[in-house]
Amino acid sequence: MSGEKEKSTVTSAPPSPSPSSVAPSVEFSKGINGLQKVILRESRGSSAEVYLYGGHVTSWKNDHGEELLFLSSKAIFKPPKAIRGGIPICFPQFASHGTLDQHGFARNRFWAVDEDPPPFPTNTLNKAFVDLILKPSEEDMKIWPHSFEYRIRIALGPGGDLMLTSRIRNTNSDGKPFSFTFAYHTYFSVSDISEVRVEGLETLDYLDNLQNKERFTEQGDALTFESEVDKIYLSTPTKIAIIDHEKKRTFVLRKDGLPDAVVWNPWDKKAKAMADFGDDEYKHMLCVEAAAVEKAVTLKPGEEWKGRLELSAVPSSYCSGQLDPQRVLQGS
Ligand code: TA6
């Protein structure tokens, strides 16, 4: 990662009772290349970092300070390039599903801190959160002639869960509806891709991006990885488990308002072809993306869409059955 050192200001939420923990906090600071970022810290030690450039989560750490998201060592923190890793936001277009550049423009725009967000839909205990907002510039209106307000709340739960809640409102004054596709393009950090299993997508239909988006049906077992994969799973369950045997860790992805899930690993050849990605880094990442792709979301003026992602990382020793993903997927 290339760039300048970091500077900061801290606002801390009211102190929490237990002596051992620190008060949840929200810190505004300068990140790589002087880009503005926000650091969220939770009382038991978990943390997350969000760049206003792209409204982009670039780090999520558990209460042992272990990084849970993959961020390429070659990531470029310089517009107009999107940051390679973390959680890029694909809006108003997923991949090449439309006339805009790949994955739309939200991931390479500067978002603002939303000083006056409308009341938040759910009552939340979370103290460590930030609200960001994106509105189209005149330039954006030339390529996508729609007025919108995109608000996102990024929050860290008391247990270290990471929650992203997007609210997109059509503010067109010309009465026109608009449609968009969407993804939280999450890069999970894994120990060894050949040791990872994904549960919850078995037997589902998917569009294979490596075969002209042809439609297939997944076989019955958990997904494992031994080559490039780029699949859009359709109408998936709201919970998906990503099991990292070696790290004895299971990521549980819960999603709301996002019917599809994209699974991507570039493997060796595509890895070499990407300038902002290390040749061997494909071994240590997997993208599992909560998405709305097959059926675009359409909003009339005044209407608002909500898309929510909740990530948790739980210690698991799958082999000993301590945490059987099936129980996770069927449980609360
Ligand atoms: O989400 C999967 C995908 O659409 C792949 O096809 C691959 O292109 C990946 O996104 C990365 O896209 P990017 O534009 O960030 O290089």
* Contact call for residues 153 and 131 (beta carbons, < 8 A): yes
pLDDT higher than 80, residue 208: yes
Contact 102 CB / ligand 1 (< 6 Å): yes
* Contact call for residues 227 and 235 (beta carbons, < 8 A): no
**How remote is the CA of residue 107 from the centroid of ligand 1, in Å?**
12
pLDDT digits (tens, 9 = 90+) for 11-32: 544 444 444 556 778 999 999 9
The structure tokens listed for 286 are: 């997997």
Rounded percentage of the chain residues whose pLDDT exceeds 90: 82
In this prediction, residue 320 carries a pLDDT of 47
pLDDT digits (tens, 9 = 90+) for 62-94: 999 999 999 999 999 999 999 999 999 999 999
The atom number, within ligand 1, closest to the CA of 82 reads 15
* Contact call for residues 204 and 264 (beta carbons, < 8 A): no
289 is catalytic: yes
Among 23, 25, 34, 28, which Cα is nearest to 9's? 28
Contact 42 CB / ligand 1 (< 6 Å): no
In this prediction, residue 267 carries a pLDDT of 98
The atom number, within ligand 1, closest to the CA of 264 reads 2
In this prediction, residue 16 carries a pLDDT of 47
Contact 185 CB / ligand 1 (< 6 Å): yes
Rounded percentage of the chain residues whose pLDDT exceeds 70: 87
Average pLDDT over residues 308-322: 76
Contact 81 CB / ligand 1 (< 6 Å): no
In this prediction, residue 322 carries a pLDDT of 47
- Prediction pTM value: 0.92
In this prediction, residue 2 carries a pLDDT of 44
Average pLDDT over residues 245-261: 97
Angle at 166 between CA 293 and CA 311, to 5 degrees: 85
Q: Of 56, 103, 185, 245, which residue is the catalytic one?
A: 185
* C-beta atoms surrounding 192 within 10 Å: 13
Nearest CA to ligand 1 atom 13: 102
pLDDT higher than 80, residue 121: no
| Four-residue CA torsion sign, 309, 176, 92, 211 | positive
The structure tokens listed for 100 are: 């805009």
185 is catalytic: yes
